Amino acid sequence: MASLILNERPQPDHVLTDIVDYVLNYKVESNVARRTAFYCFLDTLGCGFEALTYPACTKLLGPIVHGTVVPNGAKVPGTSYQMDPIQAAFNIGTLVRWLDFNDTWLAAEWGHPSDNLGGILATADWLSRTQVAKGESPLKAHVVLEAMILAHEIQGVLALENSFNKVGLDHVILVKVASTAVVGKLLGLGREELINAVSLAFVDGQSLRTYRHSPNTGSRKSWAAGDATARAVRLALIAQTGEMGYPSVLTAPTWGFYDVSFKGQAFKFQRPYGSYVMENILFKISFPAEFHAQTAAEAAMLLHTQLADIGKTSDDIARVTIRTHEAAIRIIDKRGPLHNPADRDHCIQYMAAIPLIFGRLTAEDYEDHIASDGRIDSLRDKIFCVEDEQFTKDYHDPQKRAIANGLTVELNDGVVLSEVLVAYPIGHPRRREEGIPKLLEKYKRNLARVFSENQQKQIIEATLDYDTFVQTDIHQLVDLMMK
């Protein structure tokens, strides 16, 4: 006997309406969030400037059709490209994520909320130039900061209790969802249009985590966020045409996201949307490394100095034990050959070995000519991870959000050095006062990689003072950073 299918169109899922109502109605009143977004903007673009020194990244940049220039299109800082906002978003998003050096959010799901800047900046720049061409007022930089706060919050709050990696999906799904919502607001979409846009982001095909894990770790993880934020701009523009959405995209039995991609589980939420995520974002300041290893690298740097003080080197090490948290073991505890830079910056043994040997950890240290040093793999084989359950609890505790690693070194002569424990990396909110000056040093260092001294001076004058920055026309700010 055939069953009757009820074909009544449902009301939009609450997850969709909550995101859209937040984006359309929330007023950012937190000065901490605004200031943090300012530093995040500078740091994120700085990461992109450093990525411009890597041919593996720059080969992916530019318009799809070589030589294409879009009048009033979005420009890509650090380059001469001017393109449609979709391809510009891909370019910017790829640049800022390439070296795994931009900000991080750690929860049930992890990710890098500043990846959303690809879509936000490309759209804001394009809209600003278009409005000026029409004789209208351009967008100010504070609009970009507010959009960043909203995008950080959507991505981060969705990540707090919902692990996409455990069902095999990559965290860039959250970049696509957050960017679609925020870019849609910049485009002026109404509530229904914006609900449609966000539903399109969920019904879209989602990236597998294949490219982040052994034995397939590869460079797509460095452009996946650029792809996601570009797709978000595309979906928002599609919704702007009046294209329909799919109101029960999450909850529809059999065919909805929950049943198809989330093992039948509905999303869980720890808190409402506000400005919590931007206020508590984690900056990568000292090391371009997967964030679960940041404190391990910092501890290894301290141990390198201790070894030198007693006349020892990494050659004298018999064993290193890393006391760590569960997420680090699941994501970056890796044995066997490492095939490329993307493989190496997701191996905690590699990220500890380099500072123990050389007293540094830079993006260059993941390249083949450094990795070929036989001492690295020899030391990797002596490094072992063990989970500390309290570290795991502190990692998930919303009042702590620690990312602890403790390193104990045993020498060939039997001497065991005292454990060096670092619970909070320098980019953690608990170390903001210590971290921000170093973040600005990192920004200036990255400017110097790309721009002449005169252009560096102009950019610094326009960007380092918050009050000046927020009132600058966004397209003029981007123009200062073009080659």
SS3 helix, strand, coil % of the chain, rounded to 5?
A: 55, 5, 35
Query: Could you tell me the two tokens for 75?
Result: 């420009």
DSSP 137-190: PPPBHHHHHHHHHHHHHHHHHHHHH--SGGGTB-THHHHHHHHHHHHHHHTT--
Looking at residue 10, the DSSP 8-state letter turns out to be P
Q: Of 468, 284, 289, 315, give the one whose Cα is nearest residue 382.
A: 315
Distances (CA, A) of 415 to 5, 277, 319: 73, 44, 11
The predicted structure's pLDDT at residue 260 = 97
The predicted structure's pLDDT at residue 399 = 86
Instruction: Tell me the C-alpha distance between 378 and 82, whole Å.
Output: 47
Instruction: Tell me the C-alpha distance between 426 and 274, whole Å.
Output: 25
The predicted structure's pLDDT at residue 446 = 97
How would you write the pLDDT of the chain (483 residues) with one tens digit per residue? 456 667 888 999 999 999 999 999 999 999 999 999 999 999 999 999 999 999 999 999 999 999 999 999 999 999 999 999 999 999 999 999 999 899 999 888 989 999 999 999 999 999 999 999 999 999 999 999 999 999 999 999 999 999 999 999 999 999 999 999 999 999 999 999 999 999 999 999 999 999 998 889 899 999 999 999 999 999 999 999 999 999 999 999 999 999 999 999 999 999 999 999 999 999 999 898 888 999 999 999 999 999 999 999 999 999 999 999 999 999 899 999 999 998 999 999 999 999 999 999 999 999 999 999 999 999 999 999 999 999 999 998 888 989 999 999 999 999 999 999 999 999 999 999 999 999 999 999 999 999 999 999 999 999 999 999 999 999 999 999 999
Pairing state between β 383-387 and 317-324: parallel
Instruction: Tell me the C-alpha distance between 95 and 91, whole Å.
Output: 6
Q: What are the beta bridge partners of residue 140?
A: 473
Instruction: Tell me the C-alpha distance between 449 and 52, whole Å.
Output: 9
The predicted structure's pLDDT at residue 29 = 97
Query: Could you tell me the two tokens for 465?
Result: 């003072």
The predicted structure's pLDDT at residue 337 = 94
Burial 281-290 (b: 16+ CB within 10 A, else e): bbbbbbbbbb
Query: Could you tell me the two tokens for 123?
Result: 């759209």
